[in-house]
């Protein structure tokens, strides 16, 4: 009878140790999980990592000294006068005053 009690005690100890051991292993797994690194920023213009994003690239920002972009406020369906000699808008080729010959 005494031996039977010892076996029951050993079984209880084994079961409780197994439960604690499994809990211990699962807690180790949570600690050892690698945290995902944040995505690296990349600039398509400079072709470099970790300095800045393409949207924040200093090369693409317009300097204050540069002239503003031109905009055409005319009708889209209307025909704009263009000169093939000057290669500029504003007058027709037949009314060009440029006397240079190429």
Per-residue confidence (pLDDT) for residue 92, from 0 to 100:
92
How far apart are the C-alpha atoms of 94 and 55, rounded to whole Å? 45
Q: What is the mean pLDDT of the chain?
A: 77
How far apart are the C-alpha atoms of 83 and 89, rounded to whole Å? 6
pLDDT single digits (tens) 19-55? 777 776 677 665 555 677 788 999 998 888 999 998 8
Locate the domains of the chain by residue range.
Answer: 1-60
pTM above 0.85, yes or no: no
Q: For residue 54, what are its two tokens?
A: 């393409």
């Amino acid at each position: 009878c005494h031996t039977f009690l010892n076996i029951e005690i050993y079984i209880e100890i084994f079961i409780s140790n197994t439960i604690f051991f499994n809990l211990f292993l699962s807690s180790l797994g949570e600690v050892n999980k690698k945290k995902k690194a944040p995505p690296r920023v990349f600039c398509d213009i400079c072709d470099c990592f970790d300095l800045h994003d393409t949207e924040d690239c200093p090369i693409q920002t317009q300097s204050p000294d540069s002239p503003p972009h031109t905009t055409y406020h005319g009708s889209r369906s209307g025909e704009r006068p263009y000169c093939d000699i000057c290669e500029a808008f504003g007058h027709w080729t037949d009314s060009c005053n440029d006397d240079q010959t190429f």
